């Protein structure tokens, strides 16, 4: 299992019928993964009418052939109560150690974006304008007009399968995190050895 993120919240932002694309690098490879979404810091429930995962091409763009729908208890949509977390069903997707994934989440109706400052400027995340609707299966970067360095609802990725092996865990500050999203932090370099 590769639980990658820690959580603490920043100022919430409203989202209305919009799609968000969070980018996350996995430390280990495997043939299956699960994602954990967190609504821990929100004051109300959040509903996603669709969630997908795929391999990042560059920026907000995703390799089209890699996009896979994510389900929760067999359903494509999920409502997460305020203060709660939810794990997805297992997702059949082969990932490689160090690969960067794009997790796309379509907000149904309105919600308060629960921003997790997990990586403080080291992973890019993207969003569409409010009202853009469900663009989780769109591999293009074009509709994702906003970009920043914070996680929203994504709080963990668990990788399993025959290729999954151990990982490196390091506690620290910005020195441990590395610089921007280059994947050159000392824990990442140690993991590659």
How does pLDDT run across 172-187, given as a tens digit for each residue? 666 666 555 555 566 6
- The pLDDT of residue 104 is 98
Which residues of the chain fall below pLDDT 50?
A: 1-8, 119-121
> What pLDDT score does 35 carry?
97
- Give the model's pLDDT for residue 125: 87
β-partners of residue 47 are 79
pLDDT at 185: 65
Task: Give the Cα separation of 59 and 61 in Å (integer).
Answer: 6
DSSP 121: S
Reduce the DSSP state of residue 191 to 3 states and report it.
helix
Distance CA 20, CA 27 (A): 23
| pLDDT in the model for residue 12 | 62
pTM (2 d.p.): 0.82
**Domain layout of the chain by residue ranges:** 13-175
The predicted structure's pLDDT at residue 8: 47
């Amino acid at each position: 299992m590769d639980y990658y993120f820690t959580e603490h919240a920043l100022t919430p932002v409203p989202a209305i019928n919009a799609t968000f694309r969070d980018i996350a690098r996995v430390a280990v490879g495997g043939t299956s993964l699960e994602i954990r979404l967190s609504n821990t810091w929100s004051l109300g429930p959040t509903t996603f009418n669709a969630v997908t995962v795929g391999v990042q091409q560059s920026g907000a763009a995703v390799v089209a052939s890699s996009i896979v729908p994510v389900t929760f208890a067999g359903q494509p949509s999920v409502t997460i109560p305020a203060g709660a977390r939810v794990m997805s069903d297992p997702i059949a997707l082969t990932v490689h150690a160090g690969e960067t994934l794009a997790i796309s989440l379509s907000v149904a109706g309105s919600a308060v974006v629960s921003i997790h400052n997990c990586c403080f400027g080291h992973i890019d995340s993207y969003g569409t304008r409010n009202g853009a609707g469900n663009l989780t299966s769109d591999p293009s970067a074009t509709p994702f007009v906003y970009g920043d360095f914070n996680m929203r609802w994504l709080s963990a990725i668990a990788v399993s399968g025959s290729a999954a092996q151990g990982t490196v865990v390091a506690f620290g500050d910005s020195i441990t995190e590395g610089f921007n999203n280059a994947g050159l932090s000392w824990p990442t370099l140690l993991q590659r050895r």
